[in-house]
């Protein structure tokens, strides 16, 4: 079995949900050599996250941000951790709700996503800056 791994920096994005499937694929061309395998993308931050969701209509990504901001409100006086502003603690909570990684099967050298699936970078900070991810792929 083969194992490939690479660390890359994703360009800074605005707060919100962003499709990054193509950027990940470009960074790991070796996955084309795997007949059956797995790809993991792991984000090395606690105020941004990764998830898999709808890859077509941009309003889905907008509505994710809308819902998130209602579910994890800013400025709750009960938060104790707020050094870095009102978006600080909510960003930590949102990142655990979505998760720090996605794990996707590889079949015949391609990510075996459903037709409507894509990888989202979820940027929970107002000014998160560029984000590091570790991409790992293994299989035969």
Strand partners, 136: 5, 40
Give the C-alpha separation, 109 to 58, whole Å: 28
Give the count of residues interacting with its own copies (CB under 8 A).
Answer: 62
User: Which of 70, 76, 62, 137 shows the shortest CA–CA distance to 105?
Assistant: 137
For residue 139, give both structure tokens.
Answer: 């299989």
Note whether 1 binds its own copies by CB under 8 A: yes
Task: Considering only the stretches 8-16, 24-32, 44-52, report the one whose residues sit in contact with its own copies under the rule CB under 8 A.
Answer: 44-52
CA torsion sign, 25 to 28 to 34 to 40? negative
E strand spans, the chain: 2-10, 16-19, 36-43, 48-54, 101-107, 110-111, 117-123, 131-139
Smallest distance from the beta carbon of 37 to its own copies, in angstroms? 7
Note whether 9 binds its own copies by CB under 8 A: no
Interface residue with its own copies, options 11, 59, 126, 130 (CB under 8 A): 59
Note whether 101 binds its own copies by CB under 8 A: yes
Interface residue with its own copies, options 9, 96, 126, 130 (CB under 8 A): 96
User: Under the rule (CB under 8 A), what is the footprint of its own copies?
Assistant: 1, 3-5, 7, 36-38, 40, 42-46, 51-54, 57, 59-60, 62-64, 66-67, 71-72, 76, 78-81, 83, 89, 92-93, 95-105, 107, 112-117, 120, 132, 134, 136, 138-140
């Amino acid at each position: 079995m083969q194992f490939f791994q690479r660390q890359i920096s994703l360009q800074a994005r605005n707060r919100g949900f962003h499709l990054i499937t193509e950027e990940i694929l470009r960074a790991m061309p070796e996955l084309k050599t795997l007949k059956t395998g797995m790809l993991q993308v792991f984000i090395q931050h606690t105020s941004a996250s990764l998830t898999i969701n709808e890859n077509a209509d941009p309003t889905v990504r907008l509505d994710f941000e809308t819902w998130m901001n209602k579910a994890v409100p800013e400025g709750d006086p009960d938060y104790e951790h707020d050094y870095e502003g009102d978006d600080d603690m909510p960003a930590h909570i949102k990142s655990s709700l979505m998760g720090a990684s996605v794990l996707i099967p590889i079949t015949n050298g391609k990510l075996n996503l459903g037709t409507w699936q894509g990888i989202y970078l979820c940027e929970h900070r107002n000014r998160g800056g560029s984000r590091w991810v570790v991409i790992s792929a293994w299989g035969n």
